[in-house]
Each structure stands twice: as structure tokens, then as C-alpha cells.
Amino acid sequence: MKPKVGFFSFTSCEGCQLVVLSMADKLLDLLGAVEVVNFREASSYKGEDYDVAIVEGALSTVHEIEEIRAIRKQAKILIAIGACAHIGGINCIRNFDNQFEIKKAVYGERAANFDSILAQPIDAVVKVDYYSRGCPPNRDGEEFVEIVTAILQGKKPYIPNFPVCVQCKMKGNVCTFHKEKPITCLGPVTRAGCNAHCPSYGNACIGCRGLVEEPNLNAHQETLSGAGLTVEESLNFYRMLNGMMEVGK
């Protein structure tokens, strides 16, 4: 019997699920090994019996907290896909402002009717078994397919625990910090696995895959300061996707 898989979405743009749908032949091969019973982006059918839950998005309402707990109770394996589910992502920018004042400005007298809370990643509430990192995950779906395939085979998927800088060097990229007009970059502290996609096109790594284990944040702060960023500017750079790190993530 094929394992039953359900895709679920919380506070997000649902771009991660669209990436899964765009995997073409890789997705067809994967679908041959599982039975998808819940995937709003692909089907209106909504099954409640699943073994593997693939979850996108951060948690930002009381209702979402209740829903993820119900999903975790049903699923034998839970995979967080994308930066929002993994590290809270861009949703956590809201956490640095007064939530009540924001709701009051948007909803006026009805502000109290909305159950929004501080945004947080999935593992702040329930146990996550595996992560498919990135915003969105690798466009070719290589890592996502590797993770799901390994799980189906009873193996532990390989996820790099070295910084993006290593993959930049492997590709022969010129470091963004060493140009005449240096581009500040989170590559030195961000977990690799994206094949240094953004720096390879002359853009900064914005840390969408989260930090490596035990990142040298002090050294990176010195590098950012050397590139002209103030402490507040550096914090804002981290907060773009890694805001949860400031509350113990």
C-alpha cells in the first residue's frame, strides 16, 4: 500500500507548493510512489487519512495553532517545507511591531475579532521530523525529492550543515563583499543546499535556508560593519527572514 500524503498551507504565499507542482517529471515519479490525499493547489479533494504531512507557511493565528496540532496528531511524519514553515520567514517581520496597534489600524473597531498572534515556525508548536529549506525550496525540486524519497526508503536524507560560502567557492564565484561596491550577504552563516543560487547571479544571500548550526555571528557582524552597515541595519537584514533567531530559535 502506498503511503498517503497530505499537503497543508498556513500563513504564506503558497509558492512552495507551486514549486512542487512545477517539478514536472520528477513529480510524476514521486507521485507514482505515494497517494496524495490532500493538496489544495492541485485538487479539490480533501482527505483526512494521511501518513505524511507536508506543511507550508508560518503559524500566525490561534486557529492555525489548533490545526497544526491536529495535523501532527494524525501524521506519522511531518515535513516543513519552505522558509515560513522552517524559520518563520518573512512573516516574522510583524513581530517587531505592536500587534494590537497594527490590527487597530487595519480593522478599526473590529480589531479584537481577529485572532492573529506573533508569527512563528511550525516547530515552535509541534515536532517537525524533516525540513525542506528555502524561499522557495530549490526550484528544480532536487532537495525536496531527495528528502521525500529517502523517507519512503527508510533512510535519513542528507542536508548540508556548512555555509553557502562553501558552495560559492566551489562554483568559483567572486565574493560579494570584495567588490568595489560590496553587497552585504548572509552566506557566511546560512546553511548551504541552494547551490549558492543568489550570489551566483550577483545578489546577496538573504538567509532563506536558515542558519548553520553554531554560526559565528560575531565574526559576521564584524564583516557587515566593515561593509558599512550599522548594528540596526544588520539586525534588519537578519530579520528579513530570520527574525525568530532573536527569540531563541
Closest alpha carbon to 226 in 175, 191, 192 = 175
Is residue 217, in this structure, part of any structural domain at all? yes
Grid cell for residue 8 = 497543508
Is residue 144, in this structure, part of any structural domain at all? yes
* Claim to verify: residue 200 and residue 147 sit in the same structural domain: no
- Where b means 16+ CB within 10 Å and e means fewer, 191-221 reads bbbbebbbbeeeebbbbbbbbbeebeeeebb
What's the Rg (C-alpha) of the chain? 19
* Claim to verify: residue 81 and residue 204 sit in the same structural domain: no
166-206 tens-digit pLDDT: 999 999 998 988 766 678 899 999 999 999 999 999 899 99
Grid cell for residue 21 = 507542482
* Claim to verify: residue 204 and residue 89 sit in the same structural domain: no
Distance CA 123, CA 129 (A): 9
Q: What is the pLDDT confidence band of residue 248, given thresholds at 50, 70 and 90?
A: very low
* Surface-to-core class of residue 173, CB atoms within 10 Å of its CB (0-12 exposed, 13-18 middle, 19+ buried): middle
Is residue 157, in this structure, part of any structural domain at all? no
Is residue 159, in this structure, part of any structural domain at all? no
**Where would I find the H helices in the chain?**
15-21, 25-31, 62-74, 83-87, 99-107, 142-152, 164-170, 197-200, 217-226, 231-242
Is residue 141, in this structure, part of any structural domain at all? yes
Nearest 5°: CA angle at 71, between 245 and 156?
65
89-141 tens-digit pLDDT: 999 999 998 888 888 888 898 888 888 899 999 999 999 999 999 999 876 66
Average pLDDT over residues 227-249: 83
CB 119 within 8 A of CB 91: yes
Average pLDDT over residues 22-51: 82
CB 39 within 8 A of CB 85: no
* Claim to verify: residue 120 and residue 48 sit in the same structural domain: yes
- Where b means 16+ CB within 10 Å and e means fewer, 75-98 reads bebbbbbbbbbbbbbbbbebbeee
Which residue range forms the structural domain that includes residue 95? Answer: 4-152
Grid cell for residue 134 = 528555502
Is residue 187, in this structure, part of any structural domain at all? yes
Considering 38-52, 71-85, 103-117, 126-140, the range whose residues carry the highest mean pLDDT is 71-85
pLDDT at 165: 96
The last residue of one of the domains, among 117, 152, 187, is 152
The last residue of one of the domains, among 119, 152, 185, is 152
Closest alpha carbon to 113 in 121, 104, 126 = 104
Number of domains in the chain: 2
* Claim to verify: residue 82 and residue 143 sit in the same structural domain: yes
* Claim to verify: residue 11 and residue 38 sit in the same structural domain: yes
Q: What is the pLDDT confidence band of residue 249, given thresholds at 50, 70 and 90?
A: very low
The last residue of one of the domains, among 126, 152, 178, is 152
* Claim to verify: residue 222 and residue 198 sit in the same structural domain: yes
